[in-house]
Amino acid sequence: MNDQKFAVWAPGARAVQVQLGLRQLELTARDDGWWELPASAQPPVTGPIDYGFIVDGRGPFADPRSRHQPAGVHALSRTFDASAHVWQDADWTGRQLAGAIIYELHVGTFTREGTFDAAASRLDHMHSIGVDFIELLPVNAFNGTRNWGYDGVLWYAVHEGYGGPAGYQNFVDACHQRGIGVIQDVVYNHLGPSGNYLPQFGPYLSEAAGNTWGSSLNLDGPHSDPVRRYILDNALMWMDDYHVDGLRLDAVHALRDTSATHLLEQLAVEVAALSAKTGRPRTLIAESDLNDPRLVTPREANGYGLDAQWSDDFHHAVHVALTGETTGYYADFEPLDALAKVLTHGFFHDGTYSSFRERTHGRRIDLERMPTWRLVVASQNHDQIGNRAVGDRLSEQLDTGQLAIAAALTLLGPYTPMLFMGEEWGATTPWQFFTSHPEPELGAATARGRINEFARMGWDPALVPDPQDEQTFERSKLNWNEAAEPQHARLLRFYRDLAAVRRTRPDFTDPRFDQIAVEFDAAAGWLRLHRGSTQILFNLGTQPVRVPAGGGDIVLSFAAEGEAVQGRLPNALQLAPHSVVVLA
C-alpha cells in the first residue's frame, strides 16, 4: 500500500490513530486487520509529510512500510513519492545472470564519502573490469550511523546516510546508463536488535525461537499471510519502484516456513510475473548454508525456482589451497582434491561427512541438467573477510601471484564469479565488523555474541576490534590511491585481462559441467583446469614446476615475480612459483 494512504496492518488493535504534525486522526478498521484513514479525512498532499501510528495509546511508531526515515528508525516516517523520479533508463533491457560478473560492495565503505553519489562516480572503474552487476550490501534503515546493513528494522526505507531513497534511485539509474545492473542484498530471516516496533502492530514475529542474529519472522503461524505479504511486497518494491535487477536473499536456511508453498517459491513466482510484465529479467540469488540444489531447481521439477545460490565450498577450497589455513570449517578442504571436486561438481559437501558440523551435509547436483552459472562463487566476500577476527583480506597472507591465482580460479572457473570491492587491486585495507548501536549495553552484547558465534574458529578475543569503535569503520574504507601503485596496478590490469578473456572466448560461457575437467598433483603443487578446449595452468607452490599442457597459444599469464612461463617442454610448460597461464 502507498504510504500516503496512511494505512497500517494491526489486527489485534482496539484503536489506531495516525499522527500528522500536531494532529491525530482516527483510522477505521477493516475486516482484514488493516486500519485506514477514511477518504474524506485524507489530508491534501502538497509535499513530504512526517507521520507515525499510535496503536492502543502507544507510539507514535514509524510506519512498518515507511519509505523514508530522515531522523532515524525511532523517529517519525516521512512520505516519499517514488513515482516522482524521472527515470533515464528506458533503453535498459536488463541483464541475464548467465555469463555475468558480480561486484559486491558496501556503500558506506566503498568510498571515503560513503554515499550513493560517490559510489556512482566509480562506475567507469567497475565497467573497466567487466562488471555486469553491482551487488549492494543491505541499504535498509537501521539504528545508528554505520552498520554492515544486517541489523535493518525498517525494510522499506533506505538508510539516510547513504543518500536516502532518492539517492538510491539516482544510483540505480546511473548504473543502468553505464550498462550495469543492480542486485540488492535483502534480509528476510531476522530483524535488527534496536528499532524493531513491528510487534507493536501485530504478530510479525515467530513464536518459535529466533535464529543466531535476531527475531525470526512469522511465515507459517496464525496471521502469517499478511507477514508473508509484507516480505513479498518489499521484494517487488525494490524491483518496481527502484528498478533493481535482482535480489540476493540473505541466509535463506534461517527462514522458518513449513507451508506447502515455501516463501521462496512464492517469491520466485511473483518475481517471474513482474519480469514478464516489465520485459526485463529479474534475478533471485540465495545465500544458503544447506548445499541443497532444490533452491535452484525449476518449479516444474519440484524446486523453488530461484535463479542461483552461493557456493561457500568454492571459497573454502580456494582459501585453503592458497593459504594452508585449516582451522574450523576449513579443515575438510585441506587436500587439493577438494578444490578439484568443487570445480567439477559445484559442492564439496554433497552428501559427504562434514567434520565441522559432525554430520553428513549437502546433496549432489544433477550435473547433466543444472547449468554451472547457477552457482555464485567468490574467493573473497563480505562474510569471508568480515567474519575473520581482524577482517583481514587475502592480501594480508598471499603474494601477488597467489592473488592472481585466486582471481583466475574465480573469473575463469565454471561458475558465476563475484568480486568483493577492492580485491581487483589487492586492497590492503581490512573489512571489519562494525556497528554504531546508540545503546552501550547492546554494543557490548553484540561484541560478545560475535566472539561466541565464531568460537570454534580459534579467534583470540584480544585481537578482535571493537565493533562500536568508529575507527573500526574508518579502517574498513577502501583506499583508492592504492590502485595506482605499481604492484596493485599490475594486479588490476590482470583482472581486466581476465574479464576480457572470459567475455570473448566461447569456452568460458559454456554452462555445461561435462565441459570441465581437472588434473592436479598435490605433491608438486600444480593444477590444470580445462574449460572446453581452453586450459588454465596453476602453480600453487613455491618452486618452479613442470605442468602437463596440450597445444595452444599463451593467451594470458601472471606470476608473483618475473615471467610465468620459464620454459617450454614437450607437452608441458615450466611454470614459475605462484603463477597462472591460460592456453587456447
Which grid cell is 516? 570441465
Which one from 160, 173, 245, 250 is the annotated catalytic residue?
250
Buried b (16+ CB within 10 A) or exposed e, 135-169: bbbbbbbbbbbbbbbbbbbbbbbbbbbbbbbbbbb
Residue 252 assigned ligand-binding role:
yes
Tell me whether residue 314 is annotated as binding.
yes
Alpha helices in 253-388 (DSSP H): 263-278, 312-323, 336-345, 382-386
Q: Is 357 annotated as a binding residue?
A: no
Cell numbers 539517492 correspond to what residue?
167
| 383 belongs to an annotated ligand binding site | yes
Burial class (CB in 10 A: 0-12, 13-18, 19+), 31: exposed
Rounded CA-CA distance 391/464 in Å is 9
Q: Distances in Å between the alpha carbon of 333 and those of 118, 412, 432, 454, 538?
A: 39, 21, 25, 18, 18
Classify residue 292 by its DSSP letter. Answer: -
User: Cβ(528)–Cβ(549) under 8 Å?
Assistant: yes
Q: Which one-letter amino acid corresponds to residue 400? A: T
With cell 559454456, the residue in question is 510
**CA–CA separation, 489 vs 492, rounded Å?**
5
- Identify whether the C-beta of residue 210 lies closer than 8 Å to the C-beta of residue 186: no
385 is known to lie in a ligand binding site: yes
What radius of gyration, in Å, describes the C-alpha atoms of the chain?
A: 25
Q: Any binding-site annotation on 127?
A: no
Residue 382 annotated in ligand binding: yes
User: If DSSP states are collapsed to H, E and C, what string results for 514-544?
Assistant: HHEEEEEECCCCEEEEEECCEEEEEECCCCC
Separation CA 313–CA 268 (nearest Å): 25
Stated length of the chain: 584
Run of H or E including 575: strand 572-575
Annotated catalytic residue 482: no
Annotation-wise, does 117 bind a ligand? no
Query: Is 176 a known ligand-binding residue?
Result: no
Is 479 annotated to bind ligand? no
Residue 387 assigned ligand-binding role: yes
* Residue 510: active-site member: no
Which residue is catalytic, options 151, 257, 287, 424?
287
Count of other CB atoms within 10 angstroms of residue 358: 8
Q: Is the dihedral of CA 253, 254, 260, 265 positive or negative?
A: negative
Cα 278 to chain centroid distance, Å, stands at 24
- For residues 95 and 245, is the Cβ–Cβ distance under 8 A? yes
248 is known to lie in a ligand binding site = yes
Check whether 315 is labelled as a binding-site residue: yes
Is 349 marked as binding a ligand?
Answer: no
Run of H or E residues at 227: helix 224-240
Instruction: Pull the grid cell for residue 495.
Output: 583482472
Instruction: Determine whether the annotation assigns residue 313 to a binding site.
Output: yes
412 is in an annotated binding site: no
Instruction: Tell me how far apart the alpha carbons of residues 341 and 364 are, in angstroms, rounded to a whole number.
Output: 12
Owner of C-alpha cell 585481537: 463
Which residues are known binding-site members for substrate? 248-253, 312-316, 382-387
Q: Please give the positions annotated as active site.
A: 250, 287
Which residues are known binding-site members? 248-253, 312-316, 382-387
